[in-house]
Amino acid sequence: MIIFRRETQELFDLHSHIIPYVDDGAEDLEEAKSLIREEYSQGVRFIVMTVHLRSGMFETSVQKVKRHFSELKEWLPETDMSDLEVCFSREYYCDERFEALLDAYIQGKDFVEFDGKRYSSKEEIIPFGNKKCILLEFSSGRNQKDEYGKFIKKVMMAGLTPIIAHAERYPAVQANPELIYELRKAGAYIQVNCDSILENGSKRVCETADILLKNDCVDIVCSDVHDMCGRVINMKKCFNYVKKKYGIETAKLLFHDNAEYLIKNYEYLASAF
């Protein structure tokens, strides 16, 4: 666990779907702007916009993602949110396409052929922060226990830092929360969603999030926001909930300190779990 000593309550959101027109997140530019303003009003000062990438479901081109992200970046200087930092990456679903991209990235190949199409591994894999993080997503419907280690290993071989997105959703973790210890030992950071902690989800998902929190098995808490009405931003509410239940140091660690370490690579004191 990373321990940060400075007093602060500025929050980091490393998992969000704010860029419009690219996945099942913000529908248009106005909703994206509203989501950014809401993040800021809740104390968030660093946002990573993580666009889904999944074969057969979310296949928006990098060029389109960049174009719509640029629209938001160009708008920000017109606002009063001058201290807000944003960047974009993707939420990588761990399937055969992503594995092919990773293999090419590891081997230093510029391009890879997959399912009759040609992709640039250097363009498709978009790490964020000084620790070169990428967000990994697994199936919420089937047990992929044997695949977790494989993808973590490949990501590490690529010189990247794996963050397991909403780990509380996965059947293997729900069946055996102690599996998280193995994933962290392999080099992965564990991210949990605000709504799962606040019990805005299925009973099993929320119970798993609670177990992970109680056993110090969470590194980062994020919004995973998709829109203004359904999957909303609850960063401030969740921060206050964790602060009340587990203390201010734990809340700062999960909403700021560990994320800032990954993003800015500051030197911190390390403490074993």
- For 29-81, the pLDDT digits (tens) are 999 999 999 999 999 999 999 999 999 999 999 999 999 999 999 999 999 99
Answer yes or no: are the C-beta atoms of 163 and 136 closer than 8 Å.
yes
Domain that holds residue 201: 8-270
For the CA atoms of 220, 226, 229, 232, the dihedral, rounded to the nearest 10 degrees, stands at: 10
Q: pLDDT tens for residues 122-138?
A: 999 999 999 999 999 99
- 54 lies in some domain: yes
Domain assignment present for residue 1? The answer is no
Residue 3 resides in a domain: no
In a domain, 229, yes or no: yes
Total number of domains constituting the chain: 1
Closest listed residue to residue 38, CA positions, set 234, 255, 266: 234
What CATH number is given to the structural domain containing 190?
3.20.20.140
Report if residue 2 sits inside a domain: no
Res. 266 pLDDT band, cuts 50 70 90 = low
Residue-wise pLDDT tens digits, 201-249: 899 999 999 999 999 999 999 999 999 998 999 999 999 999 999 999 9
